[in-house]
């Protein structure tokens, strides 16, 4: 048997541990209908090729613009004659799912929102008017779920669909936006949905409750949100000293256990932020400390392990530096460094942490205003790479075996090829334990560039092949920062073709150079990283 290579890091023979690529397990997108756009599809293909993303989650598979549930002919001229019974058509959905599977990406299916014909309230959220209510008729909802799942099994086969995940709804605790019912009504929706899916095939994986963030107060303890319970949080002088807890998770687990309902996975959204309502009724945007995601995941993992469902997977089905699609931090290197730090720290704590989202083709509030408007995407609407795209690409190059972990990065080995790779970053000491707070304009983000100091990264990697080469790539304020280049152009809302091409070139102009392994097989790495820099070290083929 061929022995695996042993590498010395900083003169020591290192024992390997697993490094799950939690960042590439799943990623988010806006809604199903957007996936019919050619530019959306091109951008996803590029992101998948660069990062190795395995699953995609999005809203609205049952929204009216996908035309799954039909109770009338919808002719468009004259009376819209009703059908004698609902008709289920999957033409649009098939186009989306066929594209994903042909690309090598599996759907992480969010079951929602309610078709208009089944909704008790309509157009409750988003520019596109999602219907986020309990069904008028639970039996019709169950039939919709059954027909849909049976269609997917018939089209793609049971072995394929058993690899998917079925998440019941999205953020039902956010009443009246994403759910107009009560907590118990959501639990009842889960009960009927999971029983229906498991009756089709017990091997299909179903979970929830897909609730938003953690909170340190009782606003979600009752059947509906009590905003007055968040007054103390909004007024707290030290929010990081509060006891932040998950929303509905414990109640959801207890409800399911009492009724012997299966939970294949527990899902939640762990944005390291909060919108607490103050005495004047206005939402106070709270940014938590830099390790909030790590601590929240540690607590969530403990709760699941100590529950009646200790084997349940943990999926964070939305995560970013903030839940705002108009947070200009998302366009900057500051976001890239922040997410790199969190992903590496949290890699072993969840089965997936799904970044929200891969693209700025995202219409919850309508299309963004301008090419850089604080959208969630790794790429902007025109396909220009943001710094976060490069952070994901660098993380995707890491191996699956961890050789060295430091507060500033990791050194890894690929178990298939034994190639060594590393990612290092400089999350500025001036930030101490602070998280990266949202900003409402691009100029408001720029002060962070003045933070410091620089950070010297020095390591030796022994046991390498003499003469081998490594590629160094560095993303920082001066390299790969397209939003800053756009700002220096005067922040034009509508780019010319020449401006678009220029910004695309800036976006991909990272600092790059190669290092050669000397005759003794020891690569000495000595790099000064500017504040907010992210660096990749990759062994050449």
Annotated catalytic residues are 171, 318
Q: SS in 3 state form for 460-474?
A: EEECCCCCCEEEEEE
Q: How far apart are CA 287 and CA 238, in angstroms?
A: 11
Closest CA to 534 of 362, 334, 247, 365: 334
Strands (E) in 281-389, as ranges, are 283-287, 313-319, 352-355
What separation in angstroms does the CA of 537 have from each of 6, 21, 396, 410, 411?
18, 17, 12, 10, 9
Contact 400, 415 (CB under 8 A): yes
Q: Compute the residue count for the chain.
A: 541
Indicate the SS3 state at residue 38: helix
* Strands (E) located in 438-494: 455-462, 469-475
Going by C-beta distance under 8 Å and a sequence separation of 6 or more, which residues neighbour residue 62?
A: 68, 69, 111, 112, 113, 114, 115, 144, 148
Q: Which of 143, 151, 43 is nearest to 93 (CA)?
A: 151
Q: What is the rounded distance in angstroms from the CA atom of residue 391 to the CA atom of residue 389?
A: 5
């Amino acid at each position: 048997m061929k022995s695996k290579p042993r590498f010395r890091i900083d003169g020591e023979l290192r024992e390997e541990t697993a490094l799950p690529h939690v960042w590439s397990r799943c990623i988010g997108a806006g809604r199903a209908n957007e996936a019919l756009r050619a530019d959306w599809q091109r951008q996803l293909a590029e992101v998948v090729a660069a990062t190795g993303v395995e699953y995609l989650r999005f809203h609205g598979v049952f929204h009216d613009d996908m035309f799954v549930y039909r109770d009338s002919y919808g002719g468009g001229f004259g009376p819209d004659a009703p059908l004698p019974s609902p008709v289920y058509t999957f033409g649009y959905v098939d186009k989306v799912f066929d594209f994903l599977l042909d690309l090598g990406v599996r759907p992480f299916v969010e079951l929602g929102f309610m078709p208009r014909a089944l909704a008790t309230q309509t157009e409750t959220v988003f520019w596109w008017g999602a219907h986020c209510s309990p069904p008028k008729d639970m039996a019709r909802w169950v039939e919709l779920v059954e027909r849909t799942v049976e269609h997917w099994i018939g089209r793609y086969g049971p072995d394929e669909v058993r690899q998917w995940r079925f998440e019941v709804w999205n953020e039902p605790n956010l009443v009246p936006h994403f759910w107009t019912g009560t907590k118990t009504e959501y639990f009842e929706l889960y009960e009927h949905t999971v029983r229906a899916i498991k009756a089709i095939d017990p091997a299909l994986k179903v979970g929830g409750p897909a609730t938003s963030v953690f909170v340190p107060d009782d606003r979600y303890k009752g059947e509906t949100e009590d905003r007055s319970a968040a007054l103390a949080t909004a007024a707290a002088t030290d929010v990081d000293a509060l006891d932040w807890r998950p929303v509905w998770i414990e109640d959801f687990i207890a409800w399911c256990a009492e009724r012997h309902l299966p939970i294949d996975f527990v899902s939640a959204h762990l944005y390291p932020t909060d919108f607490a309502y103050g005495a004047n009724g206005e939402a106070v945007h709270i940014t938590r400390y830099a390790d909030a995601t790590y601590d929240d995941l540690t607590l969530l993992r403990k709760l699941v392990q100590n529950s009646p469902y200790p084997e349940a997977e943990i999926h964070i089905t939305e995560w970013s530096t903030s839940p705002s699609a108009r947070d200009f931090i998302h366009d900057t290197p500051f976001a890239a460094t922040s997410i790199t730090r969190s992903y590496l720290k949290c890699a072993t704590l969840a089965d997936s942490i799904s970044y929200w989202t891969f693209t700025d083709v995202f219409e919850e509030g309508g299309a963004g205003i301008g090419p850089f408007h604080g959208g969630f995407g790794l790429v902007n609407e025109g396909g220009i790479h943001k710094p976060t795209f490069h952070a994901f690409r660098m993380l995707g190059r890491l191996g699956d075996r961890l050789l060295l972990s430091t507060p500033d990065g990791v050194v890894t080995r690929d178990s298939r090829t034994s190639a060594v790779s590393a990612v290092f970053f400089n999350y500025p000491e001036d930030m101490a334990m602070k998280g990266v707070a949202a900003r409402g304009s691009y100029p408001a983000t720029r002060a962070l560039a003045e933070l410091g100091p620089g950070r010297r990264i020095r390591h030796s990697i022994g046991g390498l092949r003499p003469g081998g080469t490594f590629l160094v790539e560095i993303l920082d304020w001066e390299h790969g920062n397209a939003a800053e280049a756009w700002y220096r152009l005067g922040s034009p809302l509508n780019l010319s073709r020449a401006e678009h091409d220029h910004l695309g070139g800036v976006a991909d102009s990272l600092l790059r150079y190669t290092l050669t392994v000397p005759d003794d097989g020891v690569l000495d790495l000595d790099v000064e990283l500017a504040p907010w820099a992210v660096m990749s070290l990759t062994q050449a083929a």
